[in-house]
């Protein structure tokens, strides 16, 4: 019990004094996570939208099954596959990406993509089908209909981004495998927490944990705000 209170106090000190180690790790974490989030959003959102709009697609069941499996991909398995691909004895070893932030961004993007696609698809699909019929009846072109439906799903899209962000920023297995947890180079909040806990540096680990929590919290607040703002403007 004493350890917990002491560690809490110490971790607060570390945060309040803006301990350089904590800040550096937090910045690196944000850089990597936001890069993967941007990549997966740019690639995944159009795909998810198309799938959602396309109501009837061939082999829909199979596509859905693959997508849902992808959404539940165990991150360590993704890490393992990326590791094998980027290893010197693997096909893409010549890139020399292994144990660099690039490898971590790649792994996180793979984890994030199915989530973004699936959640976007669900958001688009959840728009009342009557709306599309009504629009067509009013003489809207296909393109105009699609645009209106997408505008309608903005909060859902934001939720998709927020959920994906939450998942990849908290991910530990894949980034540990492909990043190597190298101090100041590939050590992020989650891998640092694992290491510091094992070293018995509970205060530092807790401080890192608080920062991780507050990063997720802040991002969700921003995204929710943004979503509401869009709603109220209508």
Partner 1 sequence: MTSTRSMSVFTTYLLILAILTAGCSSSNNFNSTLRLATTTSTENSGLLEYILPAFEKELDVSVEVIAVGTGQAIALGKSGDADALLVHAPDVEIQFIAEGHGTERRNVMYNDFVIVGPKHDPASINEMSNAAEAMIKIFVSNEPWASRGDESGTHMKEKDLWSITGIEPLASDDWYFALGQGMGATLQYANETDSYTLSDRATYLTQSDMLPFLDILIGGKNISNNPDPNLYNPYSIIPVNPSKSILVNHKLAIQFSDWLLSDETQNRIAKFRLSELGQPIFYPFVR
In the bound complex, what is the minimum distance in angstroms from residue 200's beta carbon to partner 1?
3
Site string for partner 1, 68-87 (x = CB under 8 A): -------------------x
Q: Decide if residue 144 touches partner 1 (CB under 8 A).
A: no
Question: Counting contacts by CB under 8 A, is residue 98 touching partner 1?
Answer: yes
Q: How far is the CB of 56 from partner 1 (least distance, A)?
A: 30
183 scored as a contact of partner 1 (CB under 8 A)? yes
Q: Is 182 in the site for partner 1 (CB under 8 A)?
A: yes
* Nearest distance from C-beta of residue 1 to partner 1, angstroms: 12
Tokens for 67? 């997508």
Alpha carbons within 13 angstroms on the beta-carbon side of residue 101 total 17
Q: Which of 108, 109, 164, 191 binds partner 1 (CB under 8 A)?
A: 191
Q: With CB under 8 A, what is the number of residues at the site for partner 1?
A: 21
Reference 209, options 6, 12, 1, 2; nearest CA is 12
CA distance 57 to 63: 9
Among 165, 139, 147, smallest CA distance to 217 is for 165
10 Å Cβ neighbour count for 94?
9
CA distance 185 to 201: 20
Residue 99 or 165 with smaller CB distance to partner 1: 99
Residues in 148-177 that interact with partner 1 by CB under 8 A = 176
Ramachandran sector of residue 18 (left: φ over 0; alpha: ψ -120 to 50; beta: rest)? left
Site string for partner 1, 1-40 (x = CB under 8 A): --x-------------------------------------
Rounded to a whole number of angstroms, the minimum distance from the CB of residue 180 to partner 1 is: 5
If you ran DSSP here, which 8-state letter would residue 15 be given? H
Distance CA 113, CA 126 (A): 20
CA count, 13 A, side-chain hemisphere, 205: 15
Smallest CA-to-CA distance from 29 within 203, 215, 160 is with: 215
Q: Quick check: helix, strand or coil at residue 78?
A: helix
Residue 145 found at the interface with partner 1 (CB under 8 A): no
Q: Which of 199, 214, 217, 222 binds partner 1 (CB under 8 A)?
A: 199
- Determine, following the binding rule CB under 8 A, whether residue 184 of this chain makes contact with partner 1: yes
The site for partner 1 (CB under 8 A) is made up of 3, 87-89, 93, 98-99, 176, 180-185, 187, 191-192, 195, 198-200
């Amino acid at each position: 019990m004493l350890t917990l209170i002491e560690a809490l106090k110490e971790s607060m000190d570390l945060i309040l004094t803006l301990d350089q180690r904590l800040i550096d790790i937090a910045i690196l974490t944000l850089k990597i996570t936001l890069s993967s989030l941007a990549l997966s959003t740019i690639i995944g959102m159009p795909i998810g939208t198309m799938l959602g709009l396309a109501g009837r697609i061939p082999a829909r069941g199979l596509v859905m099954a693959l997508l849902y499996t992808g959404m539940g991909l165990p991150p360590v398995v993704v890490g393992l596959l990326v590791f094998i691909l980027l290893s010197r004895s693997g096909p893409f070893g010549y890139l020399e990406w292994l144990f660099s932030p690039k490898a971590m961004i790649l792994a996180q993007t793979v984890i994030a993509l199915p989530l973004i696609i699936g959640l976007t698809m669900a958001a688009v699909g959840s728009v009342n089908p009557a709306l599309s019929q009504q629009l067509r009846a009013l003489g809207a072109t296909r393109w105009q209909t699609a645009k209106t439906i997408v505008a309608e799903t903005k909060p859902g899209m934001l939720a998709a981004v927020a959920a994906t962000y939450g998942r990849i920023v908290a991910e530990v297995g894949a980034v540990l495998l492909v990043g190597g947890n190298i101090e100041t180079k590939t050590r992020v909040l989650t891998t640092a927490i694992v290491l510091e806990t094992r070293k018995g540096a509970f205060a530092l680990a807790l401080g890192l944990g608080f920062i991780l929590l507050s990063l997720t919290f802040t991002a969700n607040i921003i995204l929710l705000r943004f979503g509401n703002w869009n709603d109220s403007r209508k």
